[in-house]
Every structure is written in C-alpha cells, then in structure tokens.
C-alpha cells in the first residue's frame, strides 16, 4: 500500500476538469494528459495489453493465471473532476492522526473544515486525512478510485502467486458531465461484470442510482433604452426569476434518501438573454418523468404570458437507475459484500444520490455496481479523503478478485 498515497498525490496534480461546452471527447486536454500517464505506468508495471482509444479511454487487461475458467472482472474509474470548481494547482494537505477538531484549510481566506458543519469528520479521529488548501477541489472524485485500481494492479503484477482470472481495467473521461460511457467499448472491454470505484465513505456498496437529465432553459428578452422601455422591454433575468419561483422547493439542500430534486447549477443572464442550466434527479421513473415535464409546463405557462418562443427548454437524458439491470444478477452485489466483510469492512448497501459510469454501462450490458473509495464532500474546497479507507478499498478490489476464483 506504500505507493497508494504517492499515486494519489501525483494524479490530483493533473488538472482534469471536464467541460460540457467543448463538444470533444475528452472534453479537456488535461484528461488526455492523465490518460497518457496511466498508460505509461501500466506498461511500466508489466501490463502488456494496454490501449489508449481515440476518445481518451484507457483499457488494460491482465490475463488469468489459473487453470480453470472463472468470470472476467472489470474495475473502472473516471479521470475527470467536476466542473463545479477549479482543479488547477491542487495543493493537497496531509493531516496525520486527525484530532477531531477544526482543520484550517486556508488561514488567509479563513476557510475551515469543521465537524460543526461536517459532522462526519468526527468518525475519522486518529486517521490520516488528505484535504484541499481551501482554494480548489481535491479530486478524490475520482482520482481516489484511479489510485486504488492502479495500486491493486501493481500488487497483482508484483505477486505472481496471487491467483486471479482475467482482469479488465478501464479509465474513462467526462463522467462528471454525464458522458463517461458515451464511447466506452463494452465489446472490446470484454468483461462479464465490473465494479466502478467511485463511491464515498468506507462500506458504501451501491446498486441503484438516480435517473438523471440535464435541462437548459433559454429565455429570450428584448432590450430597449430604460428611459423609453414601458410596454417594450422584456427583461429575461426577471422572467428567469419567475421561472425559478414556479419550481417546487425540492433542491439538493433540502432532500435526502430517495427524494429527488431540481438543481440549478448555472445561470448567465442580461436583459436580452438568460440561460439557466439544471440537473434533474429522481430514483423512480414516473416521478422522474414528472419532473422533466414540470420544466416544460412552467415554460409553457410563461410563454402564454410573455409570448410564444420567449422560453425554450432543452432536456437531455444523462443516465438511468441501474437497479433494474443489477437485480437479475444480484450475485455481483453479494460477492462484493462478501469481499468487504472478509477484509473487515461493514457493507452499507445504499442508493447513490448521484450517478456513475456504472449506471449507463449496466444498460449497455455490463452490470456494474459501485464501491467506496474513501472521499467525502466531493466537488468543492471542503473535499477530503481518508488514507486508511483508500487502503481498505484496495483490499476490497483484491478480495473481489479472489472471491471470483473460488
């Protein structure tokens, strides 16, 4: 495990924030940079079958060393980080033997990671935490997963006595913008099942997730000189405010468990034009469809008031709840659960209030539950990871491999 932290610290230094506006795959150059680093490291470990696809996906295979046929298992993580906050010049801080008190991330900016705001910190007393410096995100989502898979591969390649079947490795771009599986070649990957290493605290084992869509609401206004604007000006920003006031108060900050939400993630506006970007999330098909319909219904109502064409709504499905694809092959969950228990981890089977590449891959014919990586507070400056939990994740990967050899 000695190389796990070193790998993680190296990978988070590579800026890989994805960007839904570029129209390319990967959507940003930094993801190419990390992909090439991973290819070189895999080859240096002795992994012979390593491929970097034209879309920036990294695939690798480790052939079986057994004299009997066992299932081919894949392990997958994504290379990009969230566009919600900068991942440039990440400067991780290491807190050894955490004392349970406030952690000053940035003294000058007065940024403090406190158990008062984040009660989960109390459970990490005595552990080693990796935090941000209060300026960027950390990138544990999902470079913790990448590091854990790479560390497990390193162990397998340096311990020929470790028995295993065929193992497939996949690193994907653009998961954070819902495009991580767009060009994933399931047939080329050629695994019977897979696991994404893309979860949070120790024990998370997830086989159901949100249905997800991205929604853009464009509002077309009319700008004239304010001195002569009566009955002429249409202020698109005020209509945007009216639109928001028509949405139910079901936002991420006041929902939990199986409750869905509407989440405004970006707004850019001036009198002439305002564009709002939302993500819609819901576990259940009927209520998910109702949420998407609600976005159009509000626009239709306001178009009646301000004129047809004033509001334009575009809805793009991002991924679906993997539950219906995992339940028929429930052994993939039971085997992960067994592996966790055998390395001293208490499994917590829970829904993902988010999504992973595994959701879409499951609908593409590759059943792919999700496993913890040890990070928390993703997508912002309060993100942190626990080294001991990351080490347990590596143990779980190796134990899963072992379970499938029995």
State the SS3 of 283-341: CCHHHHHHHHHHHHHHHHHHHHHHCCCCEEEEEEEEECCCHHHHHHHCHHHHHHHHHHH
Annotated catalytic residue within 80, 206, 282, 395? 80
| 259 among known catalytic residues | no
81 backbone dihedrals φ, ψ, rounded to 5° = -115, 165
Determine whether the annotation assigns residue 286 to a binding site. no
Determine whether the annotation assigns residue 164 to a binding site. no
Determine whether the annotation assigns residue 182 to a binding site. no
Is the separation of the CB atoms in 107 and 201 below 8 Å? no
Taking the C-alpha atoms of residue 334 and residue 382, their distance in angstroms, rounded to an integer, is 33
Determine whether the annotation assigns residue 379 to a binding site. yes
Is the separation of the CB atoms in 144 and 385 below 8 Å? yes
Judged by DSSP in three states, 177 sits in helix
Chain center to CA of 329: 23
Please classify residue 54 by burial: count the beta carbons closer than 10 Å to its beta carbon, then call 0-12 exposed, 13-18 middle and 19+ buried. exposed
Taking the C-alpha atoms of residue 27 and residue 118, their distance in angstroms, rounded to an integer, is 32
CA pseudo-torsion sign 167, 171, 172, 175: positive
Determine whether the annotation assigns residue 266 to a binding site. no
Of 37, 280, 83, nearest in space to 175 by CA: 83
Annotated catalytic residue within 142, 148, 175, 282? 175
Please classify residue 6 by burial: count the beta carbons closer than 10 Å to its beta carbon, then call 0-12 exposed, 13-18 middle and 19+ buried. exposed
| 175 among known catalytic residues | yes
Q: Which helix (H) or strand (E) holds 403?
A: helix 387-403
Distances (CA, A) of 333 to 106, 190, 202, 370, 403: 41, 20, 16, 9, 12
Judged by DSSP in three states, 251 sits in coil
Q: Are strands 193-197 and 370-371 parallel, antiparallel or unpaired?
A: parallel
242 backbone dihedrals φ, ψ, rounded to 5° = -65, -40
Binding site as annotated, residues for Zn(2+):
78, 141, 176, 198, 379
| Residue positions annotated with a catalytic role | 80, 175
Binding site as annotated, residues:
78, 141, 176, 198, 379
């Amino acid at each position: 495990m000695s190389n796990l932290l070193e790998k993680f610290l190296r990978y988070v230094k590579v800026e890989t924030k994805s960007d839904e506006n570029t129209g390319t795959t990967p959507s940003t150059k930094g993801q190419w940079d990390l992909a090439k680093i991973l290819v070189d490291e895999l080859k240096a470990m002795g992994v012979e079958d390593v491929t970097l696809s034209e879309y920036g996906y990294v695939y690798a295979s480790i052939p079986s060393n057994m004299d009997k046929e066992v299932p081919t298992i894949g392990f997958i993580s994504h290379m990009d980080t969230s566009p919600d906050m900068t991942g440039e010049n990440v400067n991780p801080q290491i807190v050894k033997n955490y004392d349970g008190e406030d952690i000053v991330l940035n003294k000058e900016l007065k940024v403090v990671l406190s158990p008062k705001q984040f009660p989960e910190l109390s459970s990490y007393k005595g552990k080693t935490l990796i935090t941000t410096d209060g300026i960027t995100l950390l990138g544990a989502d999902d470079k913790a997963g990448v590091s854990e898979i790479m560390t497990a591969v390193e162990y397998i390649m340096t311990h020929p006595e470790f028995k295993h079947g065929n193992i497939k490795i996949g690193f994907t771009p653009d998961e954070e913008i819902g495009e991580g599986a767009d060009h994933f070649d399931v047939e080329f990957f050629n695994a019977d099942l897979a696991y994404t290493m893309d979860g949070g605290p120790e024990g998370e084992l997830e086989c159901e997730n949100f249905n997800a869509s991205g929604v853009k609401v464009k509002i077309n206004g009319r700008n004239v000189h304010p001195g002569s604007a009566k009955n002429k000006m249409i202020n698109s920003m005020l209509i945007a405010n009216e639109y928001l006031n028509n949405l139910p108060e079901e936002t991420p900050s006041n929902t939990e468990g199986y409750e869905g939400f509407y989440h405004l993630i970006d707004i850019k506006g001036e009198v002439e034009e305002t564009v709002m970007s939302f993500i819609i999330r819901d576990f259940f098909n009927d209520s998910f469809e109702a949420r998407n319909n609600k976005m159009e219904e509000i626009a239709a109502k306001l178009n009646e008031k301000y004129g047809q064409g004033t509001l334009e709504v575009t809805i793009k499905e991002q991924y679906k709840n993997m539950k219906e694809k995992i339940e028929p092959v429930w052994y993939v969950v039971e085997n992960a659960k067994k592996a966790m228990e055998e390395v001293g981890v208490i499994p917590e089977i829970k829904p993902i209030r988010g999504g992973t590449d595994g959701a879409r891959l499951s609908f593409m014919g590759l059943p792919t539950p999700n496993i913890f990586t040890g990070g928390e507070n993703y997508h912002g400056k309060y993100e942190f990871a626990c080294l001991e939990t990351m080490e347990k994740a590596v143990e779980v990967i190796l134990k899963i491999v072992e379970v499938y050899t029995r």
